[in-house]
Every structure is written in C-alpha cells, then in structure tokens.
Structure 1
Amino acid sequence: MDAKMGSLERMFQAVLFEVLAVTLSIIGLAVFTEHAISALSGTMIIIATIAMCWNFVFNWFFDKVATGAKEQRSVLFRIFHVILFQGGLLVFTIPVMASILNVGLWEALIMDIGVTFFITLYAFTFNLVYDHTRAYIFHSKNAAC
C-alpha cells in the first residue's frame, strides 16, 4: 500500500530538490558563462522559487491524473513527466533570465536550455531516488509495526 504524499512532505521534497538544483546550476553557469556568481546566484534563486511553485502545482495536478505507486512508474513514464514539467517551466523562466541577466531572449533561451538539460537529468535521478527511498522508509516502518 502506498501512502499519499501530504502538503508538508511535498514542500520538503520541492525545497530539497531546489536547494540542490540551485547550487549545481550556479556552478554550471559560472563555468560556461562570463556572468558574475552574484548575478547568477540571484537569478537562479528567483528561477528556483518559480520552479518550486511550479513543482508543487504541476506535481499535485499530475498525481491527480497519474495514480498508483510512484516507485512502479516506468522509465518512459518518468521521461514523459520530466519533459512536461521542464517544458512548462521554460515558459516562465526564459523572460525572467533575460531580464535579470540583461541578455536577449535568444541568449536566455540558450542558457535556460543548458540549465534545463542538466535539471532534466537531475530531476529524473532525484525523483527516482526520492520515490524509492520514500517507499523503502514507508515499507520499513510498516514492517516494524
């Protein structure tokens, strides 16, 4: 039996995801662009805030449609989930990145695609590990009772 994720756990999952994502994204952008760490940090914190809100809303709706045990989702289904999430997020983040970093939409698109490519691989790995870890903890607690 799979326990449903409550709002508090959803917030924990989203914050953990974003803290790791922001840190790794800032490092990646610093390596591949000439923008100052301070500008990239501010930009990525704002984008992460947008992403965290989007994560909460998107996954809440997604889980209403895609029912069943999360740890049993196929790789193809997980790829579909990540592509939908990241595609929706790009709509919000490209104009924000362009505005804050004072670059054109094309440069913001290229930078955001780089971040998105990284985050897509990261999101796939993070969610797979999180779901299996959560299931292990849930099943271990039930077995101990």
Structure 2
Amino acid sequence: MAGLQSIGKSDSYHILLNGFVEENGKQEVLNERFDVVPKKTLGERLAHALLFEIIAVALCAPALAWIMGKPLLHMGALTAAISLVAMLWNMVYNAGFERVERRLGWVRDTRVRVGHALGFEGGLIVIVVPLAAWWLGISLWEALVLDIGLLLFFLPYTYLYNLVYDRARDHWAGTNGQTC
C-alpha cells in the first residue's frame, strides 16, 4: 500500500512529492523533488521571441539614434533587422538550450539563467557585428564596440525578461507557484 500525502509548493520547473510507500510490510517516507523543464509549443516560442524583440526595439532604436547621431528611421531599420535575426536565433538557441537542460537535469537557477544569457548573446555577436558594420559603414572593430555596448544592455534585459516571462507563464498556466 502506498499513499501520497501532498504535492508541495512548486512551479513549472520543480515538483515536490511527500508521502509514504509500503513495501514488504515496511513503510518508507517519500520526500522527492523532481525538476522538470516544460516544453513550449512553436506558437509560444514565437510569442516569447516576438514580445522580447518588440520591447527591445522600442527601447534601443531611439537610444541608438541619439548615441550614433543617425536618423531614427535609419537606426530603427537596423534595429528591426537585428531584431529579426535575434528572434530567429532566440528560437533556435532556446530550443537547443532547453533540450540540453532537460537531458542534463539542470535546475533553472541564477547560474543557469546567467549561462543562458551569456550563450545567447555570444552567438548573436557573431551574426550582428558584420551586419551593423555594413549598415552603418563602420569597421568591424567599431561595430564590435557598439555591440559590446548593446550587450551591456541586453545581458540584464535577457535575464530579467526570461525571469518575468517564466513567472508569468506559471501564473497563466494556473500554477501560481503551486501544483495541485
């Protein structure tokens, strides 16, 4: 005979089971934590990436136009192009990262979130620097310096966006930090 007394506080990444199991006349306490990474649909991945980029363009285009002394439309077009590249990279990177995360049983703590943000931004640099250099008519070095400036914005932005998104996802899914 076995009994499950409770499924403890959780979010979509952790499930706590408390209860007992009886085997061969002996009762043993069950106190297990299971770490899970929920799968996202293609539609959810698109919404996640699109919202990320809309907010980023709204923040970056005016700031870059002012810093670079370029017309807002010119910088807005570059920002939109970078946004499209970043959105596609975001979907590919997150799908791969979450696959590795599930396979290795990682818990999405601060360390994993920071690693996620660093890996994403590192890959994006390889794509964006040549694009920015060409569009602005500057050297690769100048484009790299510009991208490093953007990186200083995007590292905390990426971390905070995904943290808020994950918590909102839990809320929308009806878990509110708990599982029934």
The two structures have a TM-score, normalised by structure 1, of: 0.89
- The corresponding residue for 2:39 is 4
Aligned residues: 140
Determine which of 24, 45, 64 is the counterpart of 1:29. Answer: 64
Coordinate RMSD, CA, aligned? 2.0
Separation in structure 2 between the aligned mates of residue 40 and residue 130 of structure 1, nearest angstrom:
27
How far did 1:106 drift? 1.4
Higher strand share: 2
Mapped pair 1:104 → 2:172: no
What amino acid maps onto 2:156 in structure 1? Answer: L
Q: Which residue of 1 aligns with 2:151?
A: 116
Q: What is the aligned partner in structure 2 of residue 87 from structure 1?
A: 122
* 3-state DSSP of counterpart to 1:23: helix
Shift, 1:35, TM fit = 1.7
SS at match of 1:67: helix
Question: How much has 1:64 moved relative to structure 2?
Answer: 0.5
Once structures 1 and 2 are overlaid, which stretch shifts more, 57-66 or 132-141? 132-141
How far the C-alpha of 1:90 sits from its partner, in A, is 0.2
Unaligned runs of 5+ in 1: none
Structure 1 residue 140 displacement after superposition:
4.4
Structure whose CA Rg is larger: 2
2:94 maps to 59
Taking CA–CA contacts closer than 8 Å with sequence separation of 6 or more, which of the two structures ends up with the larger relative contact order? 1
* CA distance, structure 1, for counterparts of residue 132 and residue 126 of structure 2: 11
More helix by share: 1
TM-score (norm 2): 0.72
